[in-house]
Homo-oligomer: A and B are copies of this chain.
Amino acid sequence: MFATLKFAALLLAVVVCWATQDYDYNDAEIDEEPTLGDSPYGSLWPLPQKVQISTVVFKLSGASFHIFDAKESSSGASCRLLQNAYRRYDEYIFTSSRKQGQNKSKKALASDMSELQVWITSADSECDSYPSVTSDESYKLSVDSPVAVLKAPKVWGALRGLETFSQLVYKDEYGAKSINRTDIHDFPRFAHRGLLLDTSRHFLPIKVILANLEAMAWNKFNVFHWHIVDDPSFPYLSRTFPQLSQHGAYQPYTHVYTPSDVKMIIEFARLRGIRVVPEFDTPGHTQSWGKGQKDLLTPCYSGASPSGSFGPVNPMLNTTYDFMSMFFKEVSTVFPDAYVHLGGDEVNFSCWKSNPDIQKFMEQQGFGMDYSKLESFYMQRLLDIVTTTNKGYMIWQEVFDNGVKLKSDTVVHVWMGNKVEEELQKVTEAGFTTILSAPWYLDYISYGQDWQKYYRAEPLGFKGTDTQKKLVIGGEACLWGEYVDATNLTPRLWPRASAVGERLWSDRDVRDLNDAYSRLAKHRCRMVQRGIPAEPLFTGYCAHEYKGV
């Protein structure tokens, strides 16, 4: 159908019948499940803010098509970030169809799309910077013959636009790489679109983290929330306190992240416009810290004598704060992001209560029996320490709930499943920025298409003023590690996290489940073809099935 319309006028109406896509997905008519029609938006995921797709089709020749810098661009051949991205997307677009030894200088036909020009429009492309919460990720993409133009103020928008461009390319019925005349103006709805991975409950090999950063970029996520340590293990190799991983990691050599591992992960993420926000959660969730750092944790008592087990960080010792000062000073230099996540969730008071020294300290401080005051006492001092490192901080909602005094740029992380809207109201009423994870705990699996549940969640569904709504800067999908390691993480995460990706990027009104199902099914097949074992949404197939086991 396309082929015959090659030279028809540009139709501004958003209409395309993607009958001959590369990413087939069988109709699910047999079982009673969402209908799988073809979306007018093909396989775009997440859906851009403004899209106009015409029925005019151009071909991309593997011999002549290239992505390169527009000559007006403020960012040239010296920008490694963009050059890397061009190579990556050239590979995604042509997979195996660009044959070696082809004549690259072959003349393009009139109907060919011969190049994609990438034009960074602002004077500072930010090519060598790290992305931040204020990074401009907007872009405009105009696909026309013989040249497609991708304009973006910064490299971050160019990265998003390259992904979008690659999603517009499909194979026609003869297998020829094709793209429709298209106009897109795109920008994210929320600035913070994160994914939490937990490397403490199970160690995740570097390879797994990198693969998932790659998949994050395909879904326009821009924050890797690295829940790097927790009770079960401490895989972060600290230069200042190497004994922490020496004694706290599952294995001190094979199950750790060395400084160069961390550096590599941060750079790999940066090249994809992804921030790396590390979480060092205290004062709870710290059992593994105690193995390498004497006196850091509170000794629990059984009656009048120590039981031999330990509780949260000991908040009454000066040595605790000395340690934290040095530790977070290191963290602030290792991780370039402007924010560090300080945790502060789920502090169990029973050990503190059992300890006579703590009891005395409570009395001295006038805390009565309110151990949340002791928790706040600790958090307050910790926050002050981190402030001196010039980092902003994120904290789990309990820290706010307990009335700890927070810097105005603090990000409050809402995770508890009950009273979510009430919490969002309170946090924003108090003037704090916030991100939402409560509806997106992907570690909770269930039978069937649970991506729909994640997709339906609406971060601004609470009652509040426009000012309050603006304080919700995004959200994060969380994949806690109790039941997840390298064997099952990737298929469990994708495409379920993709649903969150679209909710955080696309317009609020983008919520048609049937349309989403059609696009997501194709998007997941694309992820599979690019090498990520994204699991199926339902009965069906991909033209190219996963090649691994």
Interface residues of A (CB under 8 A from B): 26, 30-31, 201-203, 205, 207-208, 211, 231-233, 250-251, 254-255, 287, 443-448, 481-488, 490-492, 528, 531-541, 543, 545-549
Q: Are A548 and B486 in contact (CB under 8 A)?
A: yes
Q: Are B539 and A481 in contact (CB under 8 A)?
A: yes
A298 CB, nearest partner CB in chain B, Å: 15
Q: Are A202 and B539 in contact (CB under 8 A)?
A: yes
Q: A483-B448, A483-B536 are in contact. Are A541 and B488 (CB under 8 A)?
A: no
Taking the full assembly, how many copies of this chain does it contain? 2
In angstroms, Cα B548 to Cα A511, docked, is: 35
In angstroms, Cα B250 to Cα A540, docked, is: 8
Q: A203-B541, A250-B26 are in contact. Are A536 and B233 (CB under 8 A)?
A: no
Q: Are A30 and B549 in contact (CB under 8 A)?
A: no
A529 CB, nearest partner CB in chain B, Å: 12
Majority SS of interface residues in chain A?
loop
Q: Are B543 and A208 in contact (CB under 8 A)?
A: no
Q: Are A30 and B444 in contact (CB under 8 A)?
A: no
Residues of B within 8 A of A491 (CB): 487-488, 491
Q: Are B233 and A26 in contact (CB under 8 A)?
A: yes
Q: Are A203 and B545 in contact (CB under 8 A)?
A: yes
Q: Are B482 and A538 in contact (CB under 8 A)?
A: yes
A204 CB, nearest partner CB in chain B, Å: 8
A350 CB, nearest partner CB in chain B, Å: 13
A383 CB, nearest partner CB in chain B, Å: 26
Q: Are A543 and B251 in contact (CB under 8 A)?
A: yes
Residues of B within 8 A of A492 (CB): 488
Q: Are B486 and A549 in contact (CB under 8 A)?
A: yes
Q: Are B549 and A207 in contact (CB under 8 A)?
A: yes
Q: Are B486 and A540 in contact (CB under 8 A)?
A: no
Q: A251-B543, A486-B549, A491-B491 are in contact. Are A202 and B536 (CB under 8 A)?
A: yes
Residues of B within 8 A of A534 (CB): 487
Would you give 21 A-B contacts (Cβ < 8 Å), ordered by A?
A30-B232, A30-B287, A31-B482, A202-B536, A202-B539, A202-B540, A205-B546, A205-B547, A207-B547, A251-B543, A445-B446, A447-B483, A448-B483, A482-B539, A483-B535, A486-B545, A487-B535, A487-B536, A488-B491, A488-B492, A491-B491
